Structures are given as structure tokens and as C-alpha cells.
Structure 1
């Protein structure tokens, strides 16, 4: 099975700001749809659906940590959430999983089975997830997460309920954007020079293939989407200049530096930033 189909990219903002962030993305030229609250109650999201059927997840915690009683189970769960320590911005990305919780068909089994026998497992056992939409529809999925908490590898989201419920690509107007955005052109990851070879090796295991191009400072993999005419590229680079060096230092030596969007002839040009992340408009004309 393919393990390099891009599902979505996660953009985090401070607690309680999901609706404010949705408005910010509308001002940037995106059509934004309300998402709902996740099953654990800790996070809520809004969605930007793209024509290639990938999407952006605009997410924030529903409450800051201090809203929960000290030492309570809820506070411990909030503090141990995988994104609890992440700074706002582009924080994660997901490939499409298969929804299986049963060995040997789980994504974790598939990917761990590709690694060198002497290497540690790249993914841990799957866990169920879900959220409730504003209209009351309950969604269910399975998450396959990297074994290392600070990993730059993608997690996998595999639907148990119909993916159309999670990613409402219909009607077609959901994926029409004033900016002209059509799909994901690239995800650019930055990592330290000392980590480039090791991270590149792990990403090759996930993508089930070597980079389509490689230099001393960069590696690229061609990804797929469910509906894209122009496939996205996953780019792993080492930092250039003080600003990118500072980014790597802030993000535990690796992180999503920018996201590129394909646009048509009338689409936006150049680049822009959200309050916390960089966007690049890429013409395919």
C-alpha cells in the first residue's frame, strides 16, 4: 500500500483562538469551514479544504493548561498532549492511513517492517481518535504516530467513518478559494545539518523510496494526493541564514518551515505569513 499520500497539515494557534485564526485565513484568501471539538475535548479546529483533497487543519487548544485543576487527571492529560509544548505555527502533517487497528495490517507494522532490523521502530501502536462536528456528526479514525515525540516524520490518519465526513470535499465550492489556491505544492522541513542524513533515511522508509533528488543540503520526495493533477513535494533542507538557523534552534532541531500552495493564472503571487507561519504561492502555469 502507498504510505505517501498527503492527508493534511496542522497549523496551531494559542488556546481559544480557532475562530480568530479562521478569520485570519479568510483574510489570506482561504475558504474556511468550521470543524468541531476533538474527542478528548482538549482541541477544536477549522478546515481549509483544497481541490487536491488535502486540507489544512487550523487547530487550537480549547483552554490553557491553568484552566484545569493542578495535578488533576485532566491537567495531566492536557500537559502530556503531543502538541502541548509546541510553539504556534505549522506544527505537524499527516499522511493518509488505512484505519486498521489490527496487526499485521496497521501502518505501524507496514513501516516498521521496512526499516533495518537493527533500527528502532519508527512508529508506535495505533490509537483510535475522532471528533464531533458542529452538526453533531461523530467522526472516527485511527492515528499512527511516530515513536519519537519530537519527530519530524508524518503521523497517519486512517478513517473508520467515511472520509467525506471528515474532509467535506463536496460541494465543490468548499474547495474554491479567493487566493486561487488549488492544492499543496510543497511542505518544506528544516533540520540541522547533523540530522539531515538520519532524517532523510527515516523519511525514505516512510515514503518507501529514496528521494527523487538529493544534494548535500536538501532532499526531496514526490508525494501523492487523492485528487491532485500536480503532486506535492516534501522538501527536507538544512537552514540558510540566521533566520532559518533560529527556526531550527526553536523547533528541537526540526520543523515545518513553510507550506507552498499551487495557484492558477489568476492566483496570488510571492509569499505571505500567517501570524505564526509562512505561506508560498506557487504557479503551475
Structure 2
């Protein structure tokens, strides 16, 4: 492997699964906290989404399965059998898809049997007929089975300019939909909580993903990520810990960067709380 350091991972988006009816109530429900915009329907016709785009270029994706779809088709989807009303997954990205081969190699060499599949093409056409293209790559365990969504990040790698997929600024000016009543500025922390057994499997994966040069950038509170805007305010930390609730499979918690005008928390959905920190 080359001694050249690969880029630090960039947090791309957080996925929240909701019911179809709840999805269309989201803009009104969150109007006093977050600005929610229309996303679109994905090319497979299974899912539709709405987005909260933050000033740092990160976004929340509220996603729902369309009504009336075949139950078997839904179950075959990566998120089709997951519980609604919670954060179910999250994605990293990189400056260029060509950087991903280094991540694959590091995880293959140090990831305790976990590996990342090659990127699979995806895309959609915006209402204005702009074509968006990307590729996604997810993790599999030593037996070749998919790693549980959210336990390890999937990768969303743009093949058309990212600003077409995630419009958050024009030139140096932030777009109006990135302004939020809660003064949310971006994603500051992501906490992934897993079982004790899964923790021992996943920690080497995270160390490999975040390796800088010849050393893993591990500290007691986890690893650093970048944001697309290049902003440096905020903790920008990813942590992995053991879940206290032994009945749960895993849990993902989110902390926003805010201002001194931000609330301490907001409730995205009943029982789904996001914390704020102000730096």
C-alpha cells in the first residue's frame, strides 16, 4: 500500500426510516426546528424521501417505503425489515470515488473479517431533469452476510457533482433551505452503540476506516470525520460503544452543532431526540 495518507472520511448523511404517512407530516411537525424540503422518489420505485440540509453540507434523509409495494420486494431492500421511527443508517463519502479503494484495502487487511463490497451504481433524475449519479458500497461480514445497517457506515460516492445531489450553497452563499429555526449548523457527533459481541468485531473496522498514514487515529472518544463544507467548528467525532439495552440490536445517536440560540434538544420523531452542542 502507498504511504500516502488517504483523505479523512466526510460525513454525508443520516437515514431515518418513517412510515409513508409520517413522511408527509414531517415538514409541518418540524417547522419550529428544522426546514424540511422535498427529495424525490428513488429509481426503483420503492422509496420516497424528504431532506433536511444543514449548513455544513450534511443532511438528514427521512425515507419511507411507498404504499402498496409488494412485501417481498420491500423485505429484499437493505432497510425493508427495519423498525420505523428511528435512525437506521448513515453514510460517509470521500472527495473522489477513486479514494475508496484505499478504504477497502485497509478494512480488508485490518477489519477482522469485515470487508466492503465494490461500489454499486445508483441515481435518479431531479424534477428539473438533471441526472444524478452515484455509487454506494456497504459492508459484509466474514461469512459474506451484510453487516447490520448503521453498525458500520455505508459509502455514498458521487459520480456527478455532489452539489447537484446536496444543494446547500451557491458560491459562498448558503441556500435558504439550510437555515433552520433551531439554528442547527451541522452534525457534530455520531454515536454508534452495538452489542458487546459486535463491538469487538466492529472496532477494527472503524480503526481501519479512520487510519491516517501508518497509525490509526483512535482516541478514547473515537475518531474524527470531516464535513463537506470544510467547517471546523464542532466536535466532528464518531464513537463506538457497547449498548446498555441488551434487548436492542443497535442504536445510533446524533448531536448537532448549534449556536447559543439553539435548544438543548429537539424531537425529530416521537422518542427520537437529537442533542445540540454549541462551540
Same fold (TM over 0.5): yes
Distance (whole Å) between structure 2 residues aligned to residue 145 and residue 68 of structure 1: 24
* Correspondence for 2:247 among 245, 249, 257: 249
Are the counterparts in 1 of residues 112 and 205 from structure 2 also a CA contact under 8 Å? no
Secondary structure of the corresponding residue to residue 213 of structure 1: coil
In structure 2, relative to structure 1, the CA distance for the partners of 1:23 and 1:134 (3 Å cut) is farther
Q: CA deviation at 1:99?
A: 6.2
Distance (whole Å) between structure 1 residues aligned to residue 57 and residue 258 of structure 2: 15
* Correspondence for 2:256 among 241, 261, 265: 261
Question: Structure 1 residue 130 and structure 2 residue 126: aligned?
Answer: no
* Correspondence for 2:269 among 266, 269, 274: 274
Are the counterparts in 1 of residues 110 and 208 from structure 2 also a CA contact under 8 Å? no
* Correspondence for 2:219 among 177, 202, 213: 213
Distance (whole Å) between structure 1 residues aligned to residue 112 and residue 267 of structure 2: 40
Q: Which residue of 2 aligns with 1:96?
A: 93
TM-score by length of 2: 0.83
Structure 1 unaligned blocks of 5 or more: 70-74
Distance (whole Å) between structure 2 residues aligned to residue 262 and residue 158 of structure 1: 24
Q: Which residue of 2 aligns with 1:166?
A: 165
Are the counterparts in 2 of residues 269 and 282 from structure 1 also a CA contact under 8 Å? yes
In structure 2, relative to structure 1, the CA distance for the partners of 1:79 and 1:59 (3 Å cut) is same
Distance (whole Å) between structure 2 residues aligned to residue 126 and residue 270 of structure 1: 36
In structure 2, relative to structure 1, the CA distance for the partners of 1:24 and 1:149 (3 Å cut) is farther
The 5 Å alignment of 1:5-154 reads 5-27=10-32, 29-63=33-67, 67-68=68-69, 76-88=72-84, 89-97=86-94, 100=97, 105=98, 107=100, 109-114=101-106, 115-116=108-109, 119-147=112-140, 148-151=146-149, 152-154=151-153
What's the CA shift string for 1:211-262, capped at 9, x where partnerless? 5422xxxx5111111212225211112234xxxx0xx533x3x331x21001
* Correspondence for 2:232 among 221, 229, 234: 229
Distance (whole Å) between structure 2 residues aligned to residue 130 and residue 156 of structure 1: 14
Taking only aligned residues, the RMSD between alpha carbons, in angstroms, comes to 2.3
* Correspondence for 1:197 among 171, 196, 200: 200
Matched residue count:
257
In structure 2, relative to structure 1, the CA distance for the partners of 1:80 and 1:97 (3 Å cut) is farther
Are the counterparts in 2 of residues 99 and 157 from structure 1 also a CA contact under 8 Å? no
Structure 2 unaligned blocks of 5 or more: 1-5, 141-145
Distance (whole Å) between structure 1 residues aligned to residue 29 and residue 233 of structure 2: 27
Distance (whole Å) between structure 1 residues aligned to residue 191 and residue 111 of structure 2: 29
